[in-house]
Amino acid sequence: MNRFYFIILFSLALPRLLFAEESSLLENPKPTWETQREAKSFYFSIPAPRGQITDCHGDVLAQNSLSFNLALQFPTPLHFTDAQALSFAKQYITFAQGILKQPINLSDKAILKHYHRRGLLPLDLIEDLSPTQLARVRRGLPPCLIIRQTYTRFYPEGELACHIIGYTGRTAPLSVRAIENKDLIFPESEGREGIEQIFDDQLKGHPGNISNTYDEHGEKNSERITQHPIPGNNVITTLDKNLQHLCEKVLRENCKQGAIVMLDPNTGEIKAMASYPGFNPNDFVPILNPQLFEKLNKDPAVPLLPRAFRSAYPPGSSFKIVVGLTALQEGIITPKDTFRGPATLEVGNFVFHNWKKTDVGKLTFVQAFTQSCNTWFYQCGLKTKAEPIIRWARNLGLSQRTGIPLKSEAKGNIPDDSYMLRVHHRKILPGDVANMSIGQGDILITPLQMAQLSGIVATGGKFHQTRLIKQIQTPDNKVIAAYPDRLRADLQIKPEVISNLREAMIDVTEDAQGTAHRAQVEGIHVAGKTGTAQWGPQNKQRTAAWFTGFVPAEHPQYAFAALYEGDPGDNTIHGGSHAAPLIRKVLHEIYGKSKTENTTDQARSSKNNSEEKSVEEDNSNGD
C-alpha cells in the first residue's frame, strides 16, 4: 500500500554555461538572467512524489504515475536573435507535428518568453504523451528534441469519490520569471479541491536538490544529486472503496441527481459518501481543458457539486424523528398519548393539511410516525413548542458542520427567533412551529447531517465525532497523525424513548401502514423514516425525497441517508417511492440477495399495492 518510492529525473541536457568567478555566485545566491552567465555552478530543485490517498483497507484512490513530455532544448550559448530563436523552434515543432500527427499550439510570445527567461531548461511542446506517441518519438529524435519524464497525478478508480478526493493542478508556470537557483526542474502539482487540497502540505513531500558544475568553456563537468526528494505522506481515509462503488452505482442507475451517505454509528466513520452526478478527476491532469471545464460548469445537473455535504435540503417528514424524540424525551407526550389525525387542521388563520384526505382517527406516536400523519405532528409540535425542538435538533448535530476536513461543508439551518427576525422580521409564530413539525419552512439539512442524526439514534444517544480520515502515514508506514474514535457527546436519551423510536422506524418499513415498504430487505430489520419536501421558486420548484435510518435495527452496523433530487415541476417524487429503494438496493448487496427475492417482491407488491399507491399520490407535505 505505502511504497517508499521516488523517480530521479535529472537528464536535463543542460547546455553550456559561460565560466565565471565563484565569488559572483556567492554575492548573488539567486542569480538573475544576467548573473547566471557568470555562474560556475547551478542548483535546481527536484519535485518530490506526491503521497497516496487510500481507502480504509489501503486500496489506492490517488497516486503518482510517470508522465512523458516531448520538449525542445535550445543550443547554448543563448545568442539567438528573436527571429533566429523562432525559426529554430518552429523547425523542430514542424518536425514533431509530423511524427505525432498532432498540432502543437505555442505562440511566438510563449516561445520567446521561455528562450529569454528559461532557455537553459527544456521547453515542453507536448505534455503527457500517450503510449502510442511515446513509441513513435522513441524511434528517433533529432538532438534538440528530448523526452522529459515528470510526475502526474493519477486516479485509478476514475470518478469514484471524486467530490471527496478532489483533484490537483500545476503550480504557477515557471516561465513568468527569469531562471534562478533552487528553481524546480519541472512544475509540481498542488491540491485544488477535496482531500488533495486540505492535506496538500502532507501530500506534497519535500523537494530534493541537484548540482551542476561547468568548466571555463561552459561544458558541464558534473551533475550530482545533493539531496534526494522525500515523498509525501499518505492520507488514509475511512471510506470503504467497495461500498463507495456500490452507492455510486445505485445513484447512477436510479436517479439524475442525488446522494447517499453511510457511516458506522458506533465509531462515526464515514464508509461511503456518494454524490451524483460526478466527474473524472483524471480529466484535470495535467491541466483541465477549458472547453471541458465550461461544459462541467454549465451542466444543469451541476456535476462539480458535492451534494452529500455541500448542499442542504428541506427534510420533510424525516424531521419527525427530531420532533418525536423531543416530545418523548421532554415528557411532553407519552407513548400512550393520542391525537386525532384529521385531514386538515387550523392554526391561526392558516389551514394545514394531512397527506391523507380523510380523518385517520386517534393515533399514538408509533402509529402516527409509521404512517407519517402530518396533522398529528402539527399538534405534537405545537404542544412541545419551538424552543425544545430547536435545542434537540442542535443536540443532534443539525445547523452546524460535522467537522469533516473538506472545504465549504454546508451548515444547514434550524430557524430560531434570531433567524426569523433577521430574515422574516418577526419571531417564530404557531404556524412556523406547525411547519417545523413536519420538516418544512426554513429548515435545511445535508445528507451527511441526516446520516449523522440517524447514527445518534442508532446508538441510543452516543454522538461519535463524524470522521473521514483515519490517519496520516509516512511512505514507510509510520503513523504521524491519527484520528481515533471520539465521543462528541452523550445525549442521555431515555432508553424507553429510543425503544419507541426504533419500533416506529421499523414499522415504517414493515407495517402495512408504513411509508417505506420499498426499503425492506429479506432477513434483516431496516429502521427508517421517509421524507418529501419542496424547495426553490414556485415556477421551478424541485422535490427532495429522503430516506434515513439504520440497519440492522437491533444492532446497527450502518446509519444511512439517501437523497433523491427531483426535476423542476415533477410532483411524482416521494421518499417512499424514490429514496427508500436506493437504500434497499445498497443493503441487498451488503447483506446478500435472497434466493426467493423475486417471489418475495411479487408477494410484497401485491400485498402493499394500495398503501404504496396512496404514498405515491402524496401531496407536497407527505412521503
Each residue's pLDDT tens digit, 297-336: 999 999 999 999 999 999 999 999 999 999 999 999 999 9
Q: How far is CA 496 from CA 85, 132, 190, 329, 341, in A?
A: 83, 68, 52, 9, 24
CB 451 within 8 A of CB 457: no
**At a CB cut-off of 8 Å and minimum separation 6, what does 164 contact?**
194, 195, 237, 239, 273, 306, 406, 468
Residue 41 belongs to domain spanning: 22-237
Could you give the strand order of the β-sheet that contains 527-535, starting from the edge strand earlier in sequence?
A: 270-276, 258-263, 558-565, 542-551, 527-535
Residue 619 has pLDDT above 50, yes or no: no
Is this prediction's pTM over 0.85?
Answer: yes
CA dist 509 and 254 (Å) reads 20
pLDDT reading at 267 higher than 90 = yes
Band of residue 76 on the pLDDT scale cut at 50, 70, 90:
confident
Q: What is the pLDDT of residue 214?
A: 62
Query: Which band of pLDDT confidence, cut at 50, 70 and 90, is reported for residue 356?
Result: confident
- Distance, in Å, from the CA atom of 399 to the CA atom of 444, rounded to the nearest integer, reads 8
Residues 231 and 349 in one domain: no
51, 118, 124, 395 from 150: Cα distances, Å: 15, 18, 11, 50
User: Per-residue confidence at 483, pLDDT binned at 50, 70, 90?
Assistant: very high
* pLDDT classification of 111: cutoffs 50, 70, 90: very high
For the cut 60, the answer to whether the pLDDT of residue 11 exceeds it is: no
Is the pLDDT assigned to residue 505 strictly greater than 50? yes
Please give the tally of structural domains in the chain: 2
Dist. CA 483–CA 477, nearest whole Å:
16
The answer as to whether 9 is a domain residue is no
Over 90: is that where the pLDDT of 565 sits?
yes
Widest CA span in the chain: 102
β 220-227/208-214 pair status: antiparallel
Residue 101's domain is classified under what CATH number? 3.90.1310.10
DSSP assignment letter at 576: I
Percentage of residues of the chain with pLDDT beyond 90: 72
Are 302 and 222 in the same domain? Answer: no
pLDDT value of residue 446: 98
In a domain, 438, yes or no: yes
* pLDDT tops 60 at residue 418: yes
Same domain, 167 and 313: no
Mean pLDDT of 236-257: 98
| pLDDT, mean over the chain | 87
Same domain, 299 and 379: yes
Q: Please provide residue 192's backbone torsions phi and psi, each rounded to the nearest 5 degrees.
A: -115, -15
Instruction: Among 221, 237, 253, identify where a domain stops.
Output: 237
Residues 286 and 180 in one domain: no
Residue 8 is assigned to a structural domain of this protein: no
Q: What is the pLDDT of residues 529-561, one digit of tens each?
A: 999 999 988 888 999 999 999 999 999 999 999
- Looking at per-residue pLDDT, the higher value among 8 and 181 belongs to 181
Give yes or no: residues 178 and 316 share one domain. Answer: no
Contacts of 201 (CB under 8 A, 6+ apart): none
Residue 352 lies in a domain: yes
On the question of pLDDT at 502 being above 70, the answer is yes
Per-residue model confidence as pLDDT tens digits over 33-60: 344 444 467 788 889 999 999 999 999 9
**Any domain includes 110:** yes
16 part of a folded domain = no
Q: Is the dihedral of CA 397, 398, 400, 406 positive or negative?
A: positive
Mean pLDDT, residues 363-375:
97
Backbone angles phi, psi at 137, to 5 degrees: -70, -25
Locate 612 and state its grid cell. Answer: 404504496
DSSP designation for 407: T
Task: Please determine, for residue 62, whether its predicted confidence score (pLDDT) is greater than 50.
Answer: yes
Task: Transcribe 108-150 into DSSP letters.
Answer: HHHHHHHHHHHTTS-EEEE-S--HHHHHHHTT---TTEEEEEE
Confidence grade of residue 397 (pLDDT, cut at 50, 70, 90): very high
* pLDDT value for 172: 67
pLDDT at 18: 27
**Strands 487-490, 462-464: pairing kind:** antiparallel
Same domain, 191 and 155: yes
Which residues, 6 or more positions from 490, have their beta carbon under 8 angstroms from its beta carbon?
461, 462, 463
Give strand ranges (E) for 171-256.
183-184, 189-193, 208-214, 220-227, 234-237
> Could you tell me the pLDDT band of residue 498, with boundaries at 50, 70 and 90?
very high
Q: For residue 322, which of 263, 270, 399 has the smallest C-alpha distance?
A: 399
- The reported pLDDT for the residue numbered 605 is 43
Does the structure show a pLDDT above 60 at 10? no
What number is the average pLDDT over the span 397-421? 97
What pLDDT is recorded for position 28? 36
**One domain for residues 85 and 68:** yes
How much is the pLDDT for 225? 86
Q: What is the CATH number of the domain that holds 528?
A: 3.40.710.10
pLDDT in the model for residue 108: 95
User: Which band of pLDDT confidence, cut at 50, 70 and 90, is reported for residue 601?
Assistant: very low
Go through the chain and tell me how many residues it has. Answer: 623
pLDDT at site 72: 95
Weakest mean pLDDT among 49-58, 124-133, 169-178, 606-615? 606-615
Q: Say yes or no: 212 and 80 in one domain.
A: yes
Asked which of 171, 205, 237 is the last residue of a domain, the reply is 237
Q: Which three cell numbers stand for residue 347?
A: 392554526
pLDDT at 595: 39
What pLDDT is recorded for position 44?
Answer: 83
181-207 tens-digit pLDDT: 788 888 888 999 999 999 999 999 999
Spatial CB neighbours of 532, under 8 Å, sequence gap ≥ 6:
316, 317, 543, 544, 545, 546, 573, 574, 575, 618, 620, 621, 622, 623
pLDDT per residue as tens digits for the range 196-243: 999 999 999 999 998 877 666 555 577 788 899 999 999 999 999 999
Q: Specify whether 365 is located in the same domain as 256.
A: yes
Cell numbers 488514509 correspond to what residue?
Answer: 236
Residue 26 domain flag: yes
pLDDT of residue 563: 98
Q: Look up cell 529525473; give the residue.
A: 9
- Residue pair 487/17 in contact by the 8 Å Cβ criterion: no
Position 622 in a domain: no
How many CB atoms lie under 10 A from the CB of residue 155? Answer: 25
> CA 213 to CA 556: how far, in whole Å?
66
Q: What is the pLDDT of residue 34?
A: 40
Please tell me the least confidently modeled range out of 163-172, 429-438, 445-454: 163-172
Judge whether residue 1 has pLDDT over 70: no
- SS3 of residue 464 by DSSP: strand
> Does the pLDDT value for residue 351 go beyond 60?
yes
Last residue of a domain, one of 181, 210, 237: 237
Q: What is the 3-state secondary structure (H, E, C) of 250-319?
A: HHHHHCCCEEEEEECCCCCEEEEEEEECCCCHHHHCCCCCHHHHHHHHHCCCCCCCCHHHHCCECCHHHH
pLDDT at site 171:
78
Question: Are 420 and 538 in the same domain?
Answer: yes
C-alpha 517/C-alpha 603 separation (Å) is: 12
Same domain, 212 and 314: no
